[in-house]
Amino acid sequence: MKKQFGQHFLADPNILGVIERIAELGPDDVVLEIGPGEGVLTRYLAERVRHVHAVEIDRELEPALREIAPNVDVVFGDALQLDLPQDATKLVANLPYNVATPLVVESLDGLPNVGLWCVMVQREVADRFFASPGTKDYGAVSVLVQLAAERTGFHPVSRTVFRPPPNVDSALVAFRRGELPAGYGRIKQIVAAAFGHRRKTLPNSLALAGLVSRERAAAALDALGRPENTRAEALTPPEFVALAEELR
C-alpha cells in the first residue's frame, strides 16, 4: 500500500454483495476494474462476469494479482496514461482517491461501450457527481457526469471497510449511461473553462481560458436569458449544452 497512489484496500467482504447488486453484475459483462489492489473485488467479479480487465499502478502488488482466474487480465500502469480496453461494458472499481474524478470524467466519452459505472469514491466526490446547480458541491464534474448519465444507486460506506482506514468517508455510487449530447468534446472544454475561475463571472472565465471573447460569451448568455454577471455554478447541465451551441 503506497500513500502516493491513494490506495485503501477493501477488507470487509460484506461490501462485495452491495457492489454486485448496484453494479447489476451479469454473466455477459466485461468489467474494467481500476486499482484492484490485492484482488479482493477482482476475484469476486471474476466468478460473476465474463471477463475482467484490471489496471493496477503498483508493481509491488503483482504477486497478489498473478493468475487470479483465467478470465482476468491484469495490466500494470497508470490508467490515466494507458489505452484502456474498449470492450468494457461496465466500470466497477474501488477507485484510488487521487485519480477518481479524472478517471470518471475521461471514461464518459473515452470508453463509449461502458454502459454502467459502479465506483467507490470519497463521499464528497460521490456527492459532487450529482450535485445540484448553485450548491457548493456543484462543479465541472457534476455537469459532465449529469450530461452523460443518470444515478441508479448510492450506498454510504464506513471507513472500517478499508485497510488502512481512510481519514474520510466513502460511498459507492452507480450511474447508467444516457446519450451524450452532440459536440460533447466542445461542451467539456467550455465547462472546464467556466469552472476554472469559480469566483469570476462566466464571460470572464471563458475569456481567461482563451476560448471566446468576453463580449461573445456575454451575448451567448443573453441569448439564454442569463445576465452577463452569471457564474458557472448557476447554469444547469442543459444550459451548458445550449451555451456551447450559442458559442459554436
Q: Which three cell numbers stand for residue 123?
A: 463521499
- Within the chain, all domains assigned CATH 3.40.50.150 are found at 3-177
Q: What is the pLDDT of residue 169?
A: 87
**Residue 3: φ, ψ to 5°:** -60, -40
Q: What is the C-alpha separation between 149 and 130, in angstroms, rounded?
A: 10
Q: What is the C-alpha separation between 176 and 130, in angstroms, rounded?
A: 12
Q: Which residue has the cell 468517508?
A: 169
Q: What is the pLDDT of residue 5?
A: 47
Q: What is the C-alpha separation between 35 and 87, in angstroms, rounded?
A: 18
- Within the chain, all domains assigned CATH 1.10.8.100 are found at 184-246
Least confident of 3-7, 27-31, 76-80, 183-187: 3-7
CB 131 within 8 A of CB 142: yes
Q: What is the C-alpha separation between 197 and 80, in angstroms, rounded?
A: 24
- Residue 19, burial from CB neighbour count under 10 angstroms (0-12, 13-18, 19+): buried
CA atoms within 13 A on the CB side of 11: 13
3-177 CATH: 3.40.50.150
Tell which phi-psi region holds residue 109, choosing left (phi > 0), alpha (psi between -120 and 50) or beta.
alpha
Q: What is the pLDDT of residue 247?
A: 96
Question: Percent of the chain having pLDDT more than 70?
Answer: 96
184-246 CATH: 1.10.8.100
This prediction has a pTM of 0.92
What does pLDDT average to over the chain? 93
- Residue 199, burial from CB neighbour count under 10 angstroms (0-12, 13-18, 19+): exposed
Residue 38's CB is within 10 A of a number of other CB atoms, namely 18
Least confident of 2-16, 71-85, 165-179: 2-16
pLDDT confidence band for 2 (50 / 70 / 90): very low
**What are the residues whose beta carbons fall under 8 Å from the beta carbon of 246, sequence distance 6 or more?**
219, 220, 223, 224
Q: Which residue has the cell 470572464?
A: 204
* 4 pLDDT more than 60: no
Q: What is the C-alpha separation between 201 and 205, in angstroms, rounded?
A: 6
Q: What is the pLDDT of residue 73?
A: 96
